[in-house]
């Protein structure tokens, strides 16, 4: 029997903000998405007010004023660094770790049968609180799907006090617990599947566990069949310790203000292609296709809508910023139409491979490629040292601050990654 633990940080972004501003403890606070658009993290106090995750911030303004909810712009520099600290601590409990997202990881405790998972879970909780400063929940089960469910139980049921090992429950207690949770709480069941399953009379986790797996595969997909088997304790999902290189790299942003002119779209698309190329090089990958898309505001029914996309296939896979920017620009020029109120642009790199086994172009000059490579090294080094975006193509004549630049009006300092932002402690 495997023993998989899922550890995640409770309302991660909110918890990060609280580490450096303890006065926020016990206060209703939220963290907002880019452009201060939507709520992406809520403290328990805000959840208790019934504010759903993902709500547009301006929709809850009134409620926020009434209850003095404090909002913060997202500070990904801080959250990324805090995430690294959490993962470092977790790795000390088991080297068999899959970092599943910025705030959660699976760890395999099977190779340490002499340790009791629940006791270990309590130790993890205590240590992360003390060493990193964030509260976590721990769920343990014989499969990843059960560990996810256990984690949910650890949060929702006070009697578990943040740590739940479903392996400790006898059959009757496990059944009761599974009857107490709706099918939507299962990892892999979203709103669409929930609706379809409900039609079939499958309403609780227990209903899904006991449903005929092969029939569900026929009706829906192999993904759902695997979920059902995992709920029964049959492991169908591997623990992926090494993340394979990404197959797709996206850089996109909503604009701070609507944009109408090609000139401004060019600037933002160049910026996205540059960022995507940086990510690509960091992965040690090359891409053969660069895609661009534009969006108008789909919530504004009075506006003419236009959501075009196009892509450019490059002569050979590359990680060269200038080639990728040029490709993105060509794609953009093909889809741009005047007269629309654009609110977002994005770039997507695909057909990605390992740069070490890259196939060159037929007419490529070897020393040209070598020069470009050196140029990219300089670019990456400069941006690493002086801040991302300091050096890049198309910067000449750029209007600052651009209309397309993000709005972030409530950002906290980069406490852990910038000397200037270090916390001052008074004696």
Partner DNA sequence: TCTGGGGTCCTAGGACCC
Residues in contact with DNA by CB under 7 A are: 33-35, 37-38, 40, 54, 56, 58, 100-104, 148, 186-194, 217, 221-223, 246-254, 258, 279, 297, 299-300, 343-344, 346, 406
Which CB atom, from 297 or from 412, has the smaller least distance to DNA? Answer: 297
The nearest distance, CB 409 to DNA, in angstroms, is: 12
Pairing of strands 342-354, 285-296: antiparallel
Which 3 state secondary structure label does DSSP give 124? helix
Nearest distance in Å: CB 49, DNA: 19
| CB-nearer residue toward DNA: 87 or 123 | 87
Residue 133 near residue 89 (C-beta atoms within 8 A): no
The phi and psi torsions of 190 (rounded to 5 degrees) equal -100, -170
Q: Which of 150, 154, 149 is nearest to 137 (CA)?
A: 154
Quick one: 102 or 115, whose CB is closer to DNA? 102
Reported as half-sphere exposure (CB side, CA atoms, 13 A), residue 58 has a value of: 3
Looking at the Cβ atoms of 341 and 358, the one nearer to DNA is 341
Measured distance CA(342)–CA(364) in Å, rounded:
37
Choice between 213 and 343, CB closer to DNA: 343
Burial category of 351 from C-beta neighbours within 10 Å (exposed 0-12, middle 13-18, buried 19 and up): middle
Q: How far is the CB of 241 from DNA (least distance, A)?
A: 14
Nearest approach, Cβ of 32 to DNA (angstroms)? 8
26/218 with CB nearer DNA: 218
Query: Cβ 189 to DNA, closest distance in Å?
Result: 5
Smallest gap from Cβ 142 to DNA, in A, equals 18
At a CB cut-off of 8 Å and minimum separation 6, what does 9 contact? 15, 86, 103, 104, 128, 134, 135, 136
Q: How many helices, marked H, and strands, marked E, lie in the chain?
A: 14, 12
Q: CA distances (Å), 215 to each of 52, 204, 221, 284, 361, in order? A: 34, 18, 10, 43, 49
């Amino acid at each position: 029997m495997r023993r998989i633990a899922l550890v995640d940080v409770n309302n991660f972004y909110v918890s990060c903000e609280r580490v450096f501003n303890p006065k926020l403890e016990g206060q209703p606070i939220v963290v907002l998405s880019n452009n201060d658009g939507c709520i992406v993290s809520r403290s328990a106090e805000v959840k208790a007010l019934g504010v759903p995750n993902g709500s547009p911030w301006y929709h809850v303004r009134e409620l926020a004023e009434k209850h003095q909810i404090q909002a913060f712009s997202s500070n990904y520099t801080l959250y990324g660094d805090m995430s690294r600290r959490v993962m470092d601590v977790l790795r000390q409990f088991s080297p068999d770790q899959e970092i599943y997202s910025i705030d959660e990881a699976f760890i395999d405790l099977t190779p340490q049968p002499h340790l009791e998972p629940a006791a270990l879970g309590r130790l993890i909780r205590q240590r992360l609180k003390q060493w990193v400063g964030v509260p976590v929940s721990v769920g343990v089960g014989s499969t990843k799907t059960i560990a996810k469910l256990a984690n949910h139980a650890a949060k929702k049921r006070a009697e578990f006090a943040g740590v739940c090992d479903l392996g400790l429950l006898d059959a009757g207690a496990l059944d009761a617990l599974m009857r107490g949770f709706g099918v939507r709480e299962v990892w892999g069941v979203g709103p669409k599947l929930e609706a379809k399953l409900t039609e079939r009379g499958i309403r609780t986790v227990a209903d899904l566990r006991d449903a005929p797996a092969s029939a569900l595969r026929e009706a829906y997909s192999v993904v759902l069949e695997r979920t059902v088997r995992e709920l029964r304790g049959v492991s169908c999902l591997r623990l992926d310790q090494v993340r394979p290189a990404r197959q797709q790299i996206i850089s996109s942003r909503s604009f701070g203000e609507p944009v109408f002119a090609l000139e401004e779209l060019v600037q933002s698309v160049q910026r996205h292609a540059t960022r995507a190329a940086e990510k690509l090089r960091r992965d040690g990958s090359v891409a053969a296709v660069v895609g661009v898309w534009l969006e108008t505001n789909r919530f504004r029914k009075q506006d003419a809508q236009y959501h075009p996309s196009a892509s450019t296939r490059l002569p050979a896979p590359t990680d060269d910023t200038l080639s990728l920017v040029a490709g993105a620009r060509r794609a953009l020029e093909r889809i741009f139409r005047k007269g629309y109120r654009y609110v977002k642009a994005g770039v997507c790199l695909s057909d990605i491979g390992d740069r070490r086994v890259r196939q060159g172009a037929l007419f490529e000059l070897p020393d040209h490629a070598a020069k470009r490579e050196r140029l990219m090294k300089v670019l990456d080094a400069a941006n690493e040292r002086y801040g991302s975006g300091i050096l890049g193509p198309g910067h000449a004549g750029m209007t600052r601050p651009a209309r397309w630049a993000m709005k972030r009006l409530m950002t906290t300092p980069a406490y852990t990654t910038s000397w200037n932002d270090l916390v001052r402690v008074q004696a």
